Structure 1
Amino acid sequence: MSSQNKDEGGWAKSVWDSERKEFLGRTGTSWFKIIGFYIIFYSFLAGIFVGTIQALLLTLSAYKPTWQDRVSPPGLSHSPRSEKSELSFNLNDVETYLKYAKAMRDFLEPYHEEKQKDQLKYEDCGGSPEEYKNRGDLESDIGTRRACRFERSILGPCSGISDREFGYKEGKPCVIVKLNRIVNFRPKPPTSNESIPEEAQYKVQPNVIPLFCTHKREEDAGKVGEIKYFGIGSGFPTQYYPYYGKALHPQYLQPLVALQFVNLTFNEELRIECKVYGDNIDYSEKDRYQGRFDIKFMVTNL
C-alpha cells in the first residue's frame, strides 16, 4: 500500500513540484521566457510571410496576368460538344438529337436580345466587320467597359428562334463556333494568302478573322456537301476585341459563327475540320483545339 502511494506521489510531483515551485519541470520564470520567445519567433515568421505576400500582390494587376509569354493563341471551340467530338443522331428518333438542341439553347441563353437592352452595359458595334473597338487601357480609370451586342438573329436559321431543333430534325444540323477568350488579345486578320488554302482564300476580308471548314479525310470529299456560314462577315469581327476580363468586361459576349451542313451524306461517318486564320493564330499538334477543331458527323435515317 505504501509502495502505491509512493508511485502516485512521484507522478504528481513530476507535474507539480511544490518544493521547487515547478510545473512540468519548469519554474514560472522559465515558462514566461520560453512562451515569450515562441510568441516573438512565430510573430516574426508570420510577419515575413505576410510581408512577402503583400510585396507579391504589389507586382500583380487586378485585371490581367503579369506574364502572358506562355499563353497560346486562342482555342476554337463549338457547341454542341460531345464525347470524342462526335455528333451522331437518327432522323427518325427525336431522343437522339434533343440533347444537342438543348445544349445549343443553353449556350445561346446569354445572347437573348432582351438581356442586351441596358444601354449602360451594352452598345451597338455595327452589323459588318470593323476595326478594333478602343475602350481604353486595362489599367485606366475608366472602369467597367460596355460590351458589344451580339443578337441571336445574326445566326439565321441556326439562332434557335424559328427552329428550336437547329436543323437536326431535317438532317441539316447546325454547329455554333467561338474563339475562346484571352484577356487583352487582339486577333490579327491575315495580311496575305500564303498560309491559307486556296479554297479558303475567298473568305479573307478586312477586319475579320475568317473561319473555314472542309472535309478532314480525302475519302469524305464530295460527301460533306454545302456548308453555310452565319455571322458578322462569316467570321470573327475585330470590333469585339480585345476582351478586358471578368472584372472590367462582365457582360462581354463573344462573336459567334454558325455553321449549317445542309446536305450531308447520310449513313456514313464524316470527319470535318474547321480552322480560323490570322497572323497571330497558330496550330499545335499537342492541342487539337488551338485555332482549329475537327468533328465527326454520323446522320442516319434508317
Structure 2
Amino acid sequence: MADKKPADGQQFYQRPPKLGKWEAFSQFLWNSETKQFMGRTGASWAKILIFYIIFYAVLVGFFAVMLAVFFQTLDIKRPKWELDRSLIGSNPGLGFRPMPSDKNIESTLIWYKHSDKGNVQYWQKEINKFLGVYNKSNNPHADKLEECRQFQLPSPGKVCDVKIDQMWHPCLKDAGYNFESSEGGPCIFLKLNRIFNWNPEYFNSTTIEDPGLKMSEELKREIRDAEAQNKHRIVWVTCEGENVADIEHIGPIRFIPQKGFPSQYFPYTNQDGYISPLVAVYFEKPKRGVLINIECKAWARNIIHDRVDRRGSVHFELMID
C-alpha cells in the first residue's frame, strides 16, 4: 500500500514517541532538541527572572517607604496613645511574685511544704529571678539610679532606686524569704503595673469620707495619721482574706518596707534604669494545711476596684503544708 503524501499546504503530525517515566523526566529537565530547561528556553527564564526581580524590588521599596512614613509618627520612648486613649487604660492593677510554674499558667496558688527543700527552692528561685533587676550590677543603667528621700522626686535624668536592705527582714534572700520557717508564713512581693505617665491621686482625710468608698476604718485611720505628718502621698496597699474563713485563717500581716508605693516613683515615663517600687507582704502566722484565698488592693482616688476584671487588685491563694 502506497504511503499517503500530504496535499499541498497540509502537514501530517506524528504522535510523539511514548517515553518512560525517567526518560520523560530527563527530557523535562533538559530537552536537547528544543534547548529547553524545565520547559523553558534560556531567554524565557531570563525574562521571568528580570520580571520578578523588578516586581519584588518595587514591593520592598513600597513597604520600606510606608514603614519610614509610619515610624515618623512614633516616638520610641513614648506611646502614641496614653492613659484612657490607650488599650490598657488608666487603671493599674497589681502583680504578685512568686508565680506558679508555667505548667499551671492559669493557677494563682502558692502551695508548698516548708520542710521540703526541693519544693521550697522553686519559690525562692522565682523570687531571686524577679528581684535580679533590683541588683545594680544587673541594671545596664545603674548610673541613673539615685537614693531618693521619701516623697521627693529624683534629680533630672535620674530615677529612684529600690534598695532592698536589712529593713526588709525576713523578706531577704539570706532568710529564704521565710519559706522555710516552721511557724511563720512566706513573703509575697507586690508591684503596681506600669502605665505610662500615670499619676496617682492620693487620699487625704477629706476624700476618705466619700460615702461610696469601701475602705476599712483601719486604713482610714492610717491615712489620717500619715496626713498629719505630711506622709500621705502613697498608693496604699491592703491584703485580706476574701471570705469569712479566709479572714480567720490568714493571721497577722506586715507590709515591708511600708504599706504602699510612695510618690517619688511616679509617674513612669519609660526612664532609663527605672525599676518599679515593691511592697513585701509578710504573712506572720497563717493557718497551716488550709487553702487561704487572698485579695490585695491598691488604693488611690483614680484606682477603681473590680474583682471580676481584677482591676486595681490581685488575687492569689496560699497553702502551707
Identity rate, percent: 25
**1:156 matched to which residue of 2?**
168
TM-score (norm 1): 0.74
1:253 aligns with 2:279: no
Distance 1:33 1:215, change over 3 A: closer
Shift of 1:43: 4.0
Distance 1:51 1:268, change over 3 A: same
SS at structure 2 position matched to 1:272: strand
- Where do 5+ consecutive residues of structure 2 fail to align? 1-13, 227-231
- Verify the 8 A CA contact 1:153 1:159 in the aligned structure 2: no
**1:202 matched to which residue of 2?**
221
SS at structure 2 position matched to 1:252: coil
TM-score (norm 2): 0.70
Partners of 2:47 and 2:98 in 1: how far apart? 68
1:52 aligns with 2:66: yes
One-letter amino acid of the structure 2 residue matched with residue 79 of structure 1: R
1:81 aligns with 2:99: yes
- Verify the 8 A CA contact 1:273 1:295 in the aligned structure 2: yes
**2:191 matched to which residue of 1?**
178
**1:142 matched to which residue of 2?**
none
Output the aligned Cα RMSD: 3.6
**1:214 matched to which residue of 2?**
240
One-letter amino acid of the structure 1 residue matched with residue 87 of structure 2: R
Partners of 1:270 and 1:36 in 2: how far apart? 70
- Verify the 8 A CA contact 2:109 2:317 in the aligned structure 1: yes
- Verify the 8 A CA contact 1:178 1:256 in the aligned structure 2: yes
> Residues 15-94 of structure 1: matches in 2 within 5 Å?
15=35, 24=40, 41-68=55-82, 69-72=86-89, 73-82=91-100, 83=104, 84-94=107-117
Distance 1:273 1:33, change over 3 A: closer
1:263 aligns with 2:258: no
- Where do 5+ consecutive residues of structure 1 fail to align? 17-22, 136-144
Shift of 1:284: 4.2
SS at structure 1 position matched to 2:301: coil
One-letter amino acid of the structure 2 residue matched with residue 71 of structure 1: I
1:167-197, Cα deviation, whole Å (9 max, x unpaired): 5423322111111223333333235223341
Partners of 1:99 and 1:35 in 2: how far apart? 58
Larger radius of gyration: 2
SS at structure 2 position matched to 1:108: helix
Q: Number of aligned residue pairs: give it.
A: 273
Shift of 1:223: 2.2
Distance 1:157 1:33, change over 3 A: closer
Partners of 1:271 and 1:34 in 2: how far apart? 68
Partners of 1:188 and 1:134 in 2: how far apart? 22
One-letter amino acid of the structure 2 residue matched with residue 97 of structure 1: V
- Verify the 8 A CA contact 2:234 2:261 in the aligned structure 1: yes
- Verify the 8 A CA contact 2:93 2:313 in the aligned structure 1: yes
SS at structure 1 position matched to 2:237: strand
- Verify the 8 A CA contact 1:196 1:277 in the aligned structure 2: no
Q: Highest relative contact order (Cα 8 Å, sep 6+), 1 or 2?
A: 1
1:235 aligns with 2:264: no
